[in-house]
Chain A
Amino acid sequence: MADIRPSGYSKHRKPQTYSRRLGTRATPAQVLLSERVGGMLTLLVVIAVLPLLLTNNYQYDVVVNIGINAIVVVGLNLLIGYAGQISLGHAGFFALGAYASAILTTRYGLHGALALPLGALGVGLLAYVIARPILRLSGHYLAMATLGVGLIINIVISREAWLTGGPDGMYVPAIEVWGFELYGGPVWYWIVAAVLVLAVWLSLNLIDSPAGRALRALHGASVAAEVAGVDTTRYKVMVFVLSAVMASVAGSLAAHFSEFVTPDKASFFHSILFVTMVVFGGMASTFGALVGAAVLTLLPQLLADFASYEHMILGLIMMVVMIFMPKGLVPTLSGLARRRRARS
């Protein structure tokens, strides 16, 4: 998975910003190597080539899960990395999407392709309602409030067994399209890949839009942004809702892919895992988010060999990487590469 390399981001960041600042046109080579075009091309190539390397169901399973997590993390990165607002509760939105798909299809006989957008709509509305009071908070108070929202969702899902199956979880049927059941790794690979590309494309465009500049201003200095005329609350709410909806969509996909959901999906640990993916890869870097999702989805698989030592090693890796690379993998490594080139 090391192939998801944001080559444009690392190699030619400077020329790109210079040309933009001076208002000159970027050369075709620069466009090709920029994060938007070059990074996107890299992602498409990786997605196209990867199936050639996958030989069994287990590998497909892992890769599809990477894709599902990546969709959540790309959204969460907009909130944490760009808008500078922490959330320790996004697993709650993920689980709501998953359970919306599960409940609407099994209990109300809705089609899976209809349940997913309905779930996303519901989660979007919920996020919109709680966004204003929650995003008034800052720092650790915001962390507490989002954590609380996630935990409450988790507890409600565990307790309302008549609807959700309780702690045992519930079964989710496969989606059927024209008599053809969407089932198995290879099929879901392309579905998740398509949604992921859409999510990345949306994220890159948002960052480059006026809204994206407003967001970055928010992160840098919220009060200054407000003084400069940025409606900070509006943008914060917008990104919060967007990231919640992306988590919900990913949750629905995960539910139909694994055909089973449990309240674990809304756990505090799951929320933390998403945040760690954002920070691990590198905040405020869409492709860093992809790397973070890939590394942290793969890690437990690789550590499974260590059996009972698994958690010790996972905790150690989290600590060591964050201590020595506080900015995350992608920014730290690309910074190193740039320095080395400058020296030679």
Chain B
Amino acid sequence: MPAPLVEFLQFLFSGITSGAIYALVALGFALIYNASHVINFAQGEFVMLGGMVTWALLSQGIDLPLAIAGAVALTMVVGLALEKLAIEPARNADVVTLIIITIGAGIFLRGLTSVTLGKDLHALPSFSGDEPLSLLGATIMPQSLWILGVTAGIVVLLHGFFNYTLLGKAILATSHNRLAARLVGINVSFVLLLSFGLSALLGAVAGILIAPITATHFEVGIMLGLKGFAAAILGGLGNGVGAIVGGLLLGLIESLGAGYISSDYKDAMAFVVILGVLFFMPSGLFGRRGTERV
């Protein structure tokens, strides 16, 4: 393999790895947005909680699989509580008001985590060792394979859930027309609750998967949350396929941009590309063209 090609492959691997994480976060945004038209700016905190709680349980001597299950369950409880206590009472509020509520929730959760679990950086152990694998001349960490595998599995499961189960179809129906969904007997408030729970699950899984690579910290959710939001917007808000493609694209742009153009501007590049896309496609890549009823 010629060296430039190997280098390219290397960037490709790392781009797809972080892209898969962004995709999971973006799916969380899309899920909640579809069910409730709320953009949940506390989504990044779900990611943070996943990693931090897993670390906390591990440090108590609990086995990794059990610690992961515990962290996912706890994050889901937080997600459900957020919907019940903060989103549901403010259902009819303005978009801006709801944004501020979720941002307030994010600040609260960050504060809570820093008080209870501390402000230190923690690394989780990789799921199956740190021996890099060689692939077409480039190297890839086993953890990256875990990330790609789990993400792919989740995407397949979600696809099945939304297309072949009654509950999944109920969520889809609610996202299309809340009133009509209620009229055919769908328990809309349960659907809202469910969407927050699922979204918290996706966030927590993303946070646990990435923690062995980038380490975890009480503020790790801020940037991951914003990137996930960016990916969801890039793909077209509320579109599942869009969220996945948006996430992968974002990861690739960052890694190729950092590799070939400037690593200083890695974080900025993603946002420049998104601004560029929005200027020409105001509803993202796969977004429905909005028609407004006057």
- Nearest Cβ on chain B to A296's Cβ, whole angstroms: 11
- Given the contacts A151-B226, A272-B103, A137 and B268 also touching, CB distance less than 8 Å: no
List residues of A (120-169) whose CB comes within 8 Å of B's CBs: 133, 136-141, 143-145, 147-149, 151-152, 155-156, 159
> What are the residues of chain A within 8 A of B112 when measuring CB–CB?
312
- Within 8 Å of chain B (Cβ to Cβ): is A28? no
List residues of B (174-229) whose CB comes within 8 Å of A's CBs: 222, 226, 229
List residues of B (25-58) whose CB comes within 8 Å of A's CBs: 33, 39
- Within 8 Å of chain B (Cβ to Cβ): is A250? no
Q: Is the CB of A156 within 8 A of B101?
A: no
- Given the contacts A309-B115, A326-B94, A144 and B233 also touching, CB distance less than 8 Å: yes
List residues of B (109-124) whose CB comes within 8 Å of A's CBs: 109-112, 114-115
> What are the residues of chain A within 8 A of B99 when measuring CB–CB?
86, 143, 275
> What are the residues of chain B within 8 A of A317 when measuring CB–CB?
104
- Counting contact residues on chain A (CB < 8 A from B), the size range is 35 or more
> What are the residues of chain A within 8 A of B282 when measuring CB–CB?
136-138, 141
A-B pairs under 8 A by CB, number:
135
User: Considering the chains assembled together, what is the distance between the CA atoms of A320 and B111 in angstroms?
Assistant: 16
Q: How many of B's residues come within 8 Å of A, CB to CB?
A: 48
List residues of B (64-101) whose CB comes within 8 Å of A's CBs: 86, 89-90, 92-97, 99-101
Q: Is the CB of B271 within 8 A of A152?
A: yes
- Within 8 Å of chain A (Cβ to Cβ): is B6? no
Q: Is the CB of B39 within 8 A of A140?
A: yes
- Nearest Cβ on chain B to A249's Cβ, whole angstroms: 24
> What are the residues of chain A within 8 A of B89 when measuring CB–CB?
323-324
> What are the residues of chain B within 8 A of A318 when measuring CB–CB?
100-101, 103-104, 107
Q: Is the CB of B226 within 8 A of A315?
A: no
- Within 8 Å of chain A (Cβ to Cβ): is B283? yes
Q: Is the CB of A279 within 8 A of B90?
A: no
- B residues with CB within 8 A of A: 33, 39, 86, 89-90, 92-97, 99-101, 103-112, 114-115, 222, 226, 229-230, 233, 237, 264-265, 267-268, 271-272, 274-275, 278-279, 282-284, 290, 292, 294
